Amino acid sequence: MPYTPTGPFVNGSSPGISAAFLNNVENALVNAISDPAITNDGNGNMTFTTGNIKRAAGQQEKGFYFIQGGGNASGWVVGSWVGTISRTVTPVSVTIDTSLVAPTASAGTPSTSQLTSAGFFVGFGCTAVTNTARCAGAWTVQY
Amino acid sequence: MAIHEITQDGYITWRCHAPERHPGKPEMLRAHVSHEEIQYTEDGLVKLPPCPHCLEMGIHSQTAVMVHFPPHVRATVAPELDEEGNPIGENPAIAKHEQLAQHLARIGKTIPEPQPAIEQTPVFTQAQVEELVTQILREHGIIQQNS
What interface predicted TM-score (ipTM) does this complex get? 0.81
* Amino acid symbol at B108: G
Pick from B2, B54, B58: CB nearest A142: B2
Query: Please, what is the average pLDDT of chain A?
Result: 91
Segment A98-122 shows an average pLDDT of 98
CB of A128 within 8 A of CB of A74? yes
The pLDDT score that the predictor gives to residue B120 is 67
> CA-CA distance, B138 to B48, in Å (whole number)?
61
Q: What is the pLDDT of residues A70-105, one digit of tens each?
A: 999 999 999 999 999 999 999 999 999 999 999 999
More confidently predicted of A1 and A97: A97
Inter-chain contacts counted by CB atoms under 8 A, chains A and B: 109
Please identify among residues 31-60 of chain B the ones whose CB lies closer than 8 Å to any CB of chain A: 41-43, 45, 47, 54, 58-60
Measured in angstroms, the CA of A103 and the nearest CA of chain B are apart by 9
Measured in angstroms, the CA of B130 and the nearest CA of chain A are apart by 23
The pLDDT score that the predictor gives to residue A2 is 59
Chain B residue numbers with beta carbons less than 8 Å from the beta carbon of A56 are 78, 81, 85
The pLDDT score that the predictor gives to residue B59 is 97
Chain A residue whose CA is closest to B90: A57
Measured in angstroms, the CA of B131 and the nearest CA of chain A are apart by 25
A56-77: b (≥16 Cβ within 10 Å) or e: ebeebbeeebebbbebeeeebe
pLDDT tens-place values along chain B, 147 residues long? 799 999 999 999 999 999 999 999 999 999 999 999 999 999 999 999 999 999 999 999 999 999 999 999 999 999 999 987 889 999 999 999 999 999 999 999 999 998 877 676 777 888 999 999 999 999 888 888 766
Q: Is the pLDDT of residue A3 over 80?
A: no
The pLDDT score that the predictor gives to residue A1 is 52
Pick from B58, B73, B76: CB nearest A102: B58
Measured in angstroms, the CA of A137 and the nearest CA of chain B are apart by 9
Contact B41 A113 (CB under 8 A): yes
The pLDDT score that the predictor gives to residue B80 is 94
B31-54: b (≥16 Cβ within 10 Å) or e: bebeeeebbbbeebbbbbbbbebb
Instruction: For residue A140, give the nearest of A83, A110, A86, A95 by alpha carbon.
Output: A95
The pLDDT score that the predictor gives to residue A13 is 85
- pLDDT interval class at A14 (50, 70, 90): confident
Contact A89 B93 (CB under 8 A): no
Contact A88 B76 (CB under 8 A): yes
> CA-CA distance, A66 to A100, in Å (whole number)?
8
- The model's pTM: 0.80
